[in-house]
Copies of this chain bind each other. A is one copy, B any other.
Amino acid sequence: MAEVLLHGLTVDPSSRVPVYRQIADGIRLGLEQGRFQPGLRLPATRDLARALDVNRNTVVAAYDALAREGLVSSHTGRGTFLAEPRIPEAEADPFAHVFARAVEGSKVASLLSVYRTAISKEGISFAGSFPAADLMPVEAFRRAMAAVLRERGEELLSYGPTAGHFPLRETIAEGMRRRGSRVDAEGVLVTNGSQQGLELVFRTFVDPGDTVLVEDLTYTGALSVLASLDARAVGVPGDDEGIRPDLLGRALERHRPSLLYVQPTFHNPTARVMGEARRREVLALAARHGCIVVEDDWGGDLRLEGQDLPTLHALDASGRVVYLSTFSKKLLPGLRLGWVAAAPPVLERLVALKQVADCGTSPLLQAALHRFLHEGGLEDHLRRVKRVYRERRDAMLAALQRHLGDRATWTRPEGGLFVWTRLRHGLDTSALFAEAAERGVLFSRGELFHADGLARDCMRLTYAGVTPEQIEQGMEILGELVRAREGKPEAAPLEADAVPIL
């Protein structure tokens, strides 16, 4: 029995009630009895853990439980506070009961937790899916920017067309045509990264309550958009070749969704590639059920080996594929430039929503990117980064073999930025995540990518932004921690430590 920082709060390790629950209940009781005042800042988890002589994760789990129950609120960098009473007067709290459903308490917390960043510049990060910062073509881009500002500054610093800078739309369409798509500049909308593309596309097709089919493992940013629209994401399982046609057919019949969202190439998070026959099957199924297909091809240009496959957009003749891509992963994330290509009735709606959303993307950034592309900057850059990514991928695969060879399985990525790893014995990566973070190693937890929050025994390990030496060091630490965790009880999930999943 310990009596500590929060006056009257005790735990009994011999009780059958889990310790985290005892802590949470104790705090709730104190609040109800008036011993703890609303607004009180709770002790740091580390301090309370030490005082109560429990594992720090236990305190984190207790705070998490209280947060889910709306009894405490967390503010990044400031701490965790006991919540104000539920029904304040309008005068006292102008924000009581006024928020839209999509951003009510628990919902906004889950949106935020997914993105909260825990990336330390000093550690080794396999988290996020950032391209390598040290390989960015900063100088070539700087020249392109200087040139367009000199030549057309006044025009580019004025409002531009909502659908995008026309020469950039032409260049994008040309690139897609080289890969077999039938598309011209008028069929392309420039967006603020493919995240905005996703949001505009989903808003074009999805009403609140609608069901959208996704791969059961999928891009978290897509799940967030669907959540913010009050839509239901139904995950369809896949195999090594991508989404399973038998299960897709059943899901299409059962849910009659208007949309299917897929990443056929270097799928995030698994890095798998959908074969050509599978692509055709998926398209045929979608056509049979009158379902629009949203193809997210964020990484198609990042092939490290093997042959390019046709995109769904190139294989489709009906116009039912809405295609998304981005310059963030293959070039410069800080430009925030991506695009959507779609048939005219869809594009017209996307442009209307884009106008409502932000009146169009900066013409200056678009023109500078166009100049950079026009001068061949992307080809040079891709040649350079792919050589490095190949080396880093191989280092990651070798390190996995060395340090987790007998304790995990993974696939060999033909391209993209990361490796997907599943731990044997269903080991939950939540506790592992916290322990690794304390040792300066970060990864992305599998459950962030799962439509139903499963895949807790998985990790996404991004190799693109780390050197072979960092990979070896980081994986050695992960291997050591995985072995140490075996046989230990599972800790509660650490929502507050989630890393961004871009």
Contacts and interface: CB of A to CB of B under 8 A. Distances in A.
A484 interface: no
A73 to B, nearest CB: 8
Interface in A378-425: none
B335 A205 contact: no
Interface string A299-337: 000000000000000000011100000001000111110
B362 A335 contact: yes
Contact of A91 (B91, B287, B335, B365): B287
A352 B157 CA distance: 28
A70 to B, nearest CB: 13
A251 interface: no
Interface string A178-222: 000000000000011101100100011111101000000000010
Given A346-B95, A349-B103, A364-B365, A358 B192 contact: yes
Contacts of A491: none
A158 interface: yes
A195 B359 contact: yes
Interface stretch (A16-24, A131-139, A475-483): A131-139
Contacts of A204: 99-100, 103
A500 to B, nearest CB: 8
A211 to B, nearest CB: 13
A357 B108 contact: no
Contact of A162 (B100, B115, B319, B364): B115
B349 A364 contact: no
Given A112-B352, A334-B156, A138 B149 contact: yes
Contact of A349 (B108, B145, B203, B344): B108
Contacts of A210: 100
Main secondary structure of the interface of A (DSSP, over half): helix
Interface string A354-375: 0111111111110000000000
A203 B353 CA distance: 14
A363 B333 CA distance: 10
B357 A199 contact: yes
B365 A362 contact: yes
A334 to B, nearest CB: 4
Contacts of A348: 75, 108, 112
A502 interface: yes
Contacts of A155: 133
Contacts of A364: 334-335, 365
A343 interface: yes
Contacts of A40: none
B336 A292 contact: no
Given A193-B359, A221-B356, A157 B335 contact: yes
A130 interface: yes
Interface in A91-132: 91, 94-103, 108, 111-112, 115, 128, 130
Nearest to A111: B352
A254 interface: no
A34 interface: no
B199 A111 contact: no
A130 B91 CA distance: 39
A493 to B, nearest CB: 19
B133 A352 contact: no
Nearest to A150: B142
A353 B91 CA distance: 26
Contacts of A259: 98
A87 to B, nearest CB: 12
Contacts of A352: 103, 108, 111-112, 115
Contacts of A90: 287, 289-290
A91 B318 CA distance: 8
6 contacts: A94-B287, A99-B205, A103-B204, A111-B352, A142-B150, A208-B208
Interface of A: 75, 90-91, 94-103, 108, 111-112, 115, 128, 130, 133-134, 136, 138-139, 141-142, 145-146, 149-150, 153-160, 162, 191-193, 195-196, 199, 203-208, 210, 221, 224-225, 228, 258-259, 287, 289-290, 292, 318-320, 328, 332-336, 343-346, 348-349, 351-353, 355-365, 502
